[in-house]
Chains A and B, each alone.
Chain A
Amino acid sequence: MKNSDRASHVIPESAAPREAKGRSGEPDSAVAKAMADKQARDDDGHASIVNQAEIFKLANLARIAITDDEAQAAASNLSGILENFAAIRSIDTDVSGLPAGRQDLRNVMREDVARDGVLADPEELLRNAKTKNGYIEVSAVFAEQSVP
């Protein structure tokens, strides 16, 4: 993926701003309240989190061709889903030592040696591809400028 693809995709400031929030009250009422507040905002109608132009950018990043109709539907669906999910952004995760991932897991290493019998047959592996002289055939990579 080119850097320019990522740089061109900027978050609109209006998109579900993170609520500054301390630890208050019981944790269960805090979550339930955040979800309920969210629901109340949804019922009042809402601005779209992702618009159609952004959908086209996302589709381009994901290498998927989509039509105008698909983009319109996706913008509406994704905005609705993300609005509903935005409540998790107000959950207090400022807990000391809270990691984003599992800390008890370690990388699993093995000797870099070939093993018999596992995916070892090139012909078998290439069976599902279009090949030429034992190579997978693809379009020319530098045929034309195509990434905006």
Chain B
Amino acid sequence: MSASARENLQKSLGAIAAWEPHIGAFLDITKDEAERQVAALESDIALHQQPLAGMPIAIKANIATQFGRTSASSKILKDFVSPFNATVVQRLLGAGAVVVGKTQHDEFAMGSSTEHAGLGPQTKNPWDISRVAGGSSGGSAAAVASTEVEAALGTDTGGSIRQPASLCGVVGVKPTYGRVSRHGLIAYGSSLDQAGPITRTVRDAAKIMEVISGKDPLDATSSEVPVGQYAALCGKPIAGMIIGMPKEFFADGIDPEVKKIVTDAIMSFEEQGAVVKEISLPLTPAAIAVYYVIAKAEASSNLARFDGLRYGIREDIHASLIDYYKQVRGEGFGPEVKRAIMMGTYALSSGYSEAWYGQASKVRTLIRREYEQAFRGVDVIAGPVSPEPAFKLGSKTSDPLAMYLADAYTVPASVAGLPAISVPCGMAIKGPPNRRVSLPVGLHIIAPHFQEETMFQIAAAFESAHEFQNLSPELPQ
């Protein structure tokens, strides 16, 4: 494979040159680092034989790399270059992957459209550049969908890998909480955050998961559970497996076309001998509130470290230390991040904390139990990833609540810590009669804790029966 590492890189850089002006997926192109890695692949036979040898890959800008900027797309970390690589990056490089750049996302990963980016270009959907790529890992999803790279890493706190993957027609995986090291991820909600792959095929995602998963001494929450042979399960039959279809995932608020495409996709598992069973997850409507209260509370604590002194922007402000903090943070954080910090501060403040954070934590336990109960009767749970296909740029930016509700189907797996994947399952036709566009729809498959094997097996069975992975967007004129 590495005989073509240089060719792969040239192809990737060529696609970036063609697509970037239209979709703005990258904050930095790390060509020098990529060239260095290609040279290493050419001279090092052991590296050359690694599982991802020569694969051009992009890294979300909230994941630490010693090359390119790790800005979290925020003014407060504008020119920050990390003194270390995140464990996931270190493992990808060790497996022979070639990192070509850092991708755009919502500032500190807070958003569902990449419209809350604090730096750089507005990322657009390669299928229709008047629409969002989803978020927060919108740049990673758009870069993979447009073939700028073969794969990318994203981070998923409440759907930030799965939702943009769904909206861009690519595969996105959120691992079980604890499956992948968080060392070097800029923390948002520490009890929720996971890094995971965005790829064009289920097998590529499985291969990357085999590389990045596993215990890391630098992340105490990473798990000792042995890493499975994910790629080997892609292609294995699924006859006899039971797919749960929660009725609450198809209730009010879902786009009728998305509902039909996803329902048909799930029913098609029966053609492969699987059994589809309707189930009920009554707490589904409560998950959004539980998620946002917990995520914002954790964010308000995590983002306290950005003081404008040790790293990030350093302003020439002559004031007391407290006023310095306030000014730097007031200027450095964007509106959505400030809103998140204030909401989290509210949910944790004296007198409110039991009613909001405490109650959300208890309901979280109930949601987790509800899923554990459901998995006694089914192998996986399937439904939509997003209630609608890619929406128009600007259509939700003035209404934060509407933006939050776009995460209704992805947050339950996040609060329960479950692994989940988005796989392309059809195209919805949208737009006025004179300007119809085809927009990808994703199928969401949620598995029990640490059962990524089952998730990949079922996702690969769907992919090989339908072959939506062969569709790709056309370069805009």
CB–CB B321/A139 < 8 A? yes
Count A-B pairs with CB separation below 8 Å.
176
Asked whether, in the complex, the Cβ of B285 is within 8 Å of the Cβ of A78, the reply is: no
Q: Is B311's beta carbon under 8 Å from chain A?
A: yes
**By DSSP majority rule, is chain A's interface helix, strand, loop, or mixed?**
loop
Number of B interface residues at 8 Å Cβ cutoff, please give it: 66
B289 closest partner in A (C-beta): A85
Counting CB contacts under 8 A, is B45 at the interface?
no
Q: Does B346 contact A (CB under 8 A)?
A: yes
Is residue A44 within 8 Å, beta carbon to beta carbon, of the partner chain? Answer: no
Nearest-CB residue, chain A, relative to B286: A88
> Complex formed: what's the CA distance from A88 to B363 in Å?
8
Complex contact A141–B286 (CB within 8 A): no
Q: B311 and A62: CB pair below 8 A?
A: no
Check B289–A125 contact: CB distance below 8 A: no
1/0 contact trace for B295-336 toward A, CB 8 Å? 000001000100001111010011111111111011101010
Please name all residues of chain A whose beta carbon is closer than 8 Å to the beta carbon of B286 when the two chains form the complex. 31, 35, 87-88, 91
The contact string, 1 if C-beta is below 8 Å from chain A, for chain B 172-216, is 000000000000000000000000000000000000000000000
Chain B: minimal CB distance from A139 (Å): 5
**Residues on A facing B (Cβ under 8 Å):** 6-7, 9-11, 16, 18, 26-32, 35, 50, 55, 58-66, 70, 73-74, 77-78, 80-82, 84-85, 87-89, 91, 93, 95, 98-102, 108, 110, 118-119, 121, 124-125, 127-130, 136, 138-141, 143-144, 146-147
Binding site for A on B (CB under 8 A): 80-81, 83-84, 217-218, 220-221, 248, 280, 282-283, 285-286, 288-290, 292-293, 300, 304, 309-312, 314, 317-327, 329-331, 333, 335, 338-339, 341-343, 345-346, 349-352, 355-356, 358-363, 365-366, 400-401, 404
Q: Can you identify 30 A-B contacts, CB atoms within 8 angstroms? A: A11-B352, A18-B355, A28-B248, A31-B283, A31-B285, A35-B285, A59-B342, A63-B304, A64-B326, A64-B341, A65-B326, A66-B338, A73-B335, A77-B400, A81-B343, A87-B285, A87-B289, A88-B286, A88-B293, A91-B359, A91-B363, A93-B359, A101-B365, A108-B221, A119-B83, A128-B312, A129-B310, A139-B317, A139-B318, A143-B321
